[in-house]
């Protein structure tokens, strides 16, 4: 067994690996960037090494410094977690060439499955069903347009070297193809250094089904059943569950055996996930489930598989990397109950899910569920890395039980002043269609009006805030700044400020007590600053009606589509900002002329920073 392990990652997955390693008596070494020096994953390791500045390419993607740290600390193995260098075949080879154990897939397997077009060709040869599409070498714009036309719209453009939802665009008609292809290639080059793409038929009622597989060095492969990851936003998973709703025994057998077949085709060793796309327009059927890709690493959503199987997947990784056989045979594995995972992100749903950064002055997770988090109260959420705060994982005897527990947990999250998607998660988990298992990858977009909390406080929030500022017994209500309605013994009006705006609230006798913390109200996963109204405050907020185009989030300007003096029309794209794996396109609010440019391409900007100035037509 491995006796010392360097964890080439950060945040919650680094803590997760450390937890299992310590239980197994393995010494752990953390590597970290300068900005991560005080993070929990660094403190919890037996030893820590700083490997560079905050930007990932200078630290967590710096293979030289990671291997150097492993050699200097006497580590016997390197675990890459997920993301960063976890699916980098060259890095895997360098690790083993340095005499270290690589706790991951063999470099040959990573290469075989890393390029989507080559992987699909290999799967076709192995008899695994794949989605109809174009995998050709000819990447000319004209050829790709012709192939898309032949496949029939909608089609999906995907970066050959893609992953994590990057370099992916849906195209609904021929007229949109050229612009979507250019955007996809730009994102693919930035993320992967490879602009090549493939085309797939876009499934109109798609379900994202994936199967957890493990292979050992003795030729054995097993599956640990399926997960459903259909709840996605912009191709990023939001809620995952295991098993998949609506999956009958015969379909499960077919898809899981196809996954084992796919793993065997590349002589797979370690933890991997075979991802399938299912046409669920007529339920889940074995003849309508096709191979999409393989992730040659541990997945973010692995805890739901751990919950239903009772297995520690990180421990399995350690055993297999040490050369031991699979811990269990296929017939020894079974499904126990239902599990769900929700990804709690630092983002603001009411502003289009823009990232939120800053210090976590208040952070409280709910009890009664598993919480995998990379941060603690007082830590900073920066713009350098993924905005995930935590993974909330529930387990119950039934799907309804797991969903109820997770919805209640999401509603009980308390975070301030960083904004989160907790209320959005709670609303999604409580939605009747989700509870009924009517899920597909378009679920969130289709139900956005119901799922995204409004920017204004709800009546429940206003009632809770009004109660929170009520005078204590013995104080005179006439001096509190709130009005009292005569001849209305069951209610009264009170002035209150919530979220920076003033409201008059008719306070009712009935109502639940609110959770508060130093002037912040937590209700159903939302957080609102509240207090008595300021004298003369009229409420509301000011917009940029003067033509200033401002950054809605801190990040990097990756594209400028206009220059000084250009004439623009309302809705025309002006610039693209990237932060935390998200692109945000800024558009012209009215017809006019670009009168001034404030930034250059590739510049770093702060939230609220002015990028350019427009002058409207008179």
SS3 per residue for 133-164: EECCCCCCHHHHHHHHHHHCCCEEEEEEEEEC
DSSP 261-325: HHHHHTT--EEEEEEEEEE-BTB--GGGEEEEEEE-S--TTHHHHHHHH---HHHHHHHHHTTPP
DSSP state, 454?
A: P
The 3-state secondary structure of 352-413 reads CCEECCEECCEEECCCCCEEEECCCCCCEECCCCCCEEEEEEEEECCHHHHHHHHHHHHHCC
Look-up of token digits 């490879």: 194
Catalytic residue status for 534: no
Inter-CA distances, 425 with 13, 403, 435, Å: 21, 11, 13
**Nearest alpha carbon to residue 393 among 335, 437, 343, 451:** 343
3-state secondary structure string across 73-108: HCCCEEECCCCCCCCCHHHHHHHHHCCCEECCCCHH
Q: How far is CA 522 from the centre of its chain?
A: 23
Pairing of strands 4-7, 77-79: parallel
Which of 27, 227, 288, 297 is catalytic? The answer is 297
* Interacting residues of 68 by C-beta distance below 8 A, sequence separation 6+: none
Question: ∠ at Cα 562 (561, 563), nearest 5°?
Answer: 140
SS3 209: strand
Q: Which are the catalytic amino acids?
A: 297
């Amino acid at each position: 067994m491995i006796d010392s392990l360097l964890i080439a990652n950060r945040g919650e997955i680094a803590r997760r690996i450390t937890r299992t390693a310590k239980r197994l008596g393995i010494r752990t070494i953390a590597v970290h960037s300068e900005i991560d020096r005080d993070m929990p994953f660094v403190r919890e390791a037996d030893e820590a090494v700083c490997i560079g500045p905050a930007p990932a390419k200078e630290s967590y993607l710096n293979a030289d410094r990671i291997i150097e740290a492993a050699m200097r600390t006497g580590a016997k193995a390197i675990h890459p977690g997920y993301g960063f260098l976890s699916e980098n075949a060259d890095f895997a080879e360098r690790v083993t060439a340095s005499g270290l154990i690589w706790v991951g897939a063999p470099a040959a397997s990573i290469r075989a499955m890393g390029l989507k077009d080559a992987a699909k060709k290999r799967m076709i040869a192995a008899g695994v069903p794949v989605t109809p599409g174009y995998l050709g070498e000819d990447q000319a714009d004209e050829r790709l347009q012709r192939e898309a036309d032949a496949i029939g719209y909608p089609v999906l453009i995907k970066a050959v070297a893609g992953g994590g939802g990057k370099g992916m665009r849906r195209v609904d008609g021929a007229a949109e193809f050229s612009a979507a292809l250019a955007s996809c290639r730009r994102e693919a080059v930035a993320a992967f250094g490879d602009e090549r793409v493939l085309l797939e038929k876009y499934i109109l009622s798609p379900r994202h089904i994936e199967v957890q597989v493990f292979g050992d060095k003795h030729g054995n492969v097993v599956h640990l059943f399926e997960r459903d990851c259909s709840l996605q936003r912009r191709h990023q998973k939001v809620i995952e569950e295991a098993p998949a709703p609506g999956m009958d025994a015969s379909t499960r057998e077919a898809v899981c055996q196809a996954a084992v077949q796919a793993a065997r085709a590349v002589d797979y060793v370690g933890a991997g996930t075979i991802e399938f796309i299912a046409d669920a327009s007529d339920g889940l059927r074995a003849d309508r489930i096709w191979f999409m890709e393989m992730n040659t690493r541990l997945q973010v959503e692995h805890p739901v598989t751990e919950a239903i199987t009772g297995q520690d997947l990180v421990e399995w990784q350690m055993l297999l990397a040490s050369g031991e056989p699979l811990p269990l045979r296929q017939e020894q594995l079974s499904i126990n109950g239902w599990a769900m995972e929700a990804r709690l992100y630092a983002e603001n749903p009411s502003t289009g899910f823009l990232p939120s950064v800053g210090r976590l002055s208040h952070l409280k997770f709910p009890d009664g569920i598993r919480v995998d988090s990379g941060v603690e109260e007082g830590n900073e959420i920066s713009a350098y890395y993924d905005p995930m705060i935590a993974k909330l994982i529930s387990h119950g005897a039934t799907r309804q039980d797991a969903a109820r527990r997770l919805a209640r947990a999401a509603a009980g999250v308390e975070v301030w002043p960083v904004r989160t998607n907790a209320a959005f998660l709670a609303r999604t988990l409580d939605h009747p269609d989700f509870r009924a298992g009517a899920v597909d990858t378009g679920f969130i977009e289709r139900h956005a009006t119901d799922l995204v909390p409004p920017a204004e406080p709800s009546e429940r929030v206003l009632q809770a805030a009004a109660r929170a500022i009520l005078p204590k017994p013995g104080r005179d209500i006439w001096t509190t700044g709130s009005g009292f309605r005569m001849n209305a013994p069951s209610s009264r009006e009170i002035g209150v400020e919530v979220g920076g705006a003033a409201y008059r609230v008719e306070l009712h006798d009935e109502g639940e007590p609110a959770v508060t913390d130093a002037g912040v109200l937590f209700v159903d996963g939302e957080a609102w600053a509240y207090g008595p109204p300021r004298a003369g405050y009229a409420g509301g907020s000011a917009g940029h009606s003067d033509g200033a185009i401002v950054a809605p989030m801190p990040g990097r300007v990756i594209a400028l589509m206009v220059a000084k003096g250009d004439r623009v029309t309302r809705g025309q794209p002006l610039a693209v900002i990237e932060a935390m794996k998200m692109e945000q396109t800024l558009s012209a609010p009215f017809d006019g002329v670009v009168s001034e440019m404030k930034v250059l391409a590739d510049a770093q900007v702060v939230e609220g920073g002015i990028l350019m100035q427009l002058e409207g037509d008179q």
